[in-house]
């Protein structure tokens, strides 16, 4: 009996408070050492299993603080989307409803300025309308991300469309900005006359409508950032 115990376990030494207690396998000590060994191995097994389970992702993540941060990010994403929607819609409406008719006219020509006289402004109105429609449709996806914080594929889709809409909106806004700058300053070399000197309220209106669009551009950049951060924190 004693020899089998020795084969199982070498002497277990415990040192408590400068007292050295050597447990050699004896009758009762053998049972004690066996229970010690089995309990250590049980702990070891449990730890490994827990680690394996965590790696497989079977543990629920609903109650971790990381999921809470992801949810906060999704809520911020939703709010920013609404802000961008308001900005683009306001810009489209402000540009689309400008019209100024000068008080003097000749027999053949009536001096009127509207947004569709300049193709860049038409493109601006169209781009802002498309982006505001996209933002309305993506609000649904944003709500889905609030409810299910773990969705990854839809976040990548959202980033793709957000980047595409960012490019479209920036193109429209900067093309209109170039024409507005030309309308304010003119160009002596190309013999282009600054029309703002005659069409005052038209100029003010088109300049102000650029603001909402550029604010929406900044918000779209932030949206892409937020989605990227939420993806990487998963």
Partner 1 sequence: MEKGDSTTINITSESSKERKGKAPLLAAPVMAATTNTREDGGNKRGIAIFDFVLRLCAMVAALAAAILMGTTDQTLPFFTQFFRFQASYDDLPTFTFFVIANAITSSYLVLSIPFSIVSIVRPHAVGPRLLLIIFDTVMVALTTAAAASAAAIVYLAHKGNSSANWLAICQQYNDFCQSTSGAVVASFIAVVIFVFLVVLSALALRKS
Residues 6+ apart with CB under 8 A from 29: 23
Residue 88 CB, shortest distance to partner 1, in Å, is 15
Instruction: Find the binder of partner 1 among 73, 89, 182, 216 (CB under 8 A).
Output: 182
Per-position x/- string for 101-140, each x denoting binding to partner 1 as judged by CB under 8 A, each - no binding: ------------x---xxxx--------------------
> Do residues 83 and 214 touch, judged by C-beta distance below 8 A?
no
Looking at the DSSP assignment, which residues form a beta bridge with residue 105? 110
Q: Which of 51, 59, 136, 137 binds partner 1 (CB under 8 A)?
A: 51
DSSP string, 193-231: --GGGT-HHHHHHHHHHHHHHHHHHHHHHHHHHHHHHHH
> Judged by CB under 8 A, which stretch of 24-32, 81-89, 133-141, 186-194 contacts partner 1?
186-194
Q: What are the E-state strand segments in the chain?
A: 12-16, 19-23, 99-105, 110-114
List interacting residues with partner 1 (CB under 8 A). Answer: 7-10, 12-18, 36-37, 40-41, 45, 48-49, 51-53, 55-56, 113, 117-120, 152, 155-156, 159-160, 163-164, 166-167, 170-179, 181-183, 185, 187, 189-193, 195, 217, 221, 224-225, 227-229, 231-232, 234
């Amino acid at each position: 009996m004693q020899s089998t115990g020795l084969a199982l376990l070498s002497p277990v030494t415990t040192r408590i408070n400068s007292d050295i207690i050597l447990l050699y396998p004896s009758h009762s000590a053998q049972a004690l050492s066996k229970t010690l060994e089995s309990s250590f191995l049980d702990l070891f097994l449990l730890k490994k299993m827990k680690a394996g389970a965590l790696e497989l992702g079977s543990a629920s993540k609903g109650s971790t603080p990381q999921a809470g941060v992801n949810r906060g990010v999704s809520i911020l994403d939703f709010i920013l989307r609404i802000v961008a929607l308001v900005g683009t819609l306001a810009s489209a409406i402000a540009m689309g409803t400008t019209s100024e008719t000068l008080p003097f006219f000749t027999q053949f020509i009536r001096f009127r300025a509207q947004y569709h006289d300049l193709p860049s402004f038409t493109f601006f109105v169209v781009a802002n309308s498309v982006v505001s429609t996209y933002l309305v449709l993506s609000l649904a996806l944003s709500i889905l991300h609030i409810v299910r914080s773990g969705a990854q594929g839809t976040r990548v889709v959202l980033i793709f469309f957000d980047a595409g809409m960012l490019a479209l909106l920036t193109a429209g806004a900067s093309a209109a900005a170039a024409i507005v700058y030309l309308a304010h300053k003119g160009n002596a070399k190309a013999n282009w006359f600054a029309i703002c000197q005659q069409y005052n309220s038209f100029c003010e209106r088109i300049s102000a409508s650029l603001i909402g669009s550029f604010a929406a551009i900044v918000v779209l950049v932030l949206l892409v950032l937020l989605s990227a951060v939420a993806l990487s924190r998963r």
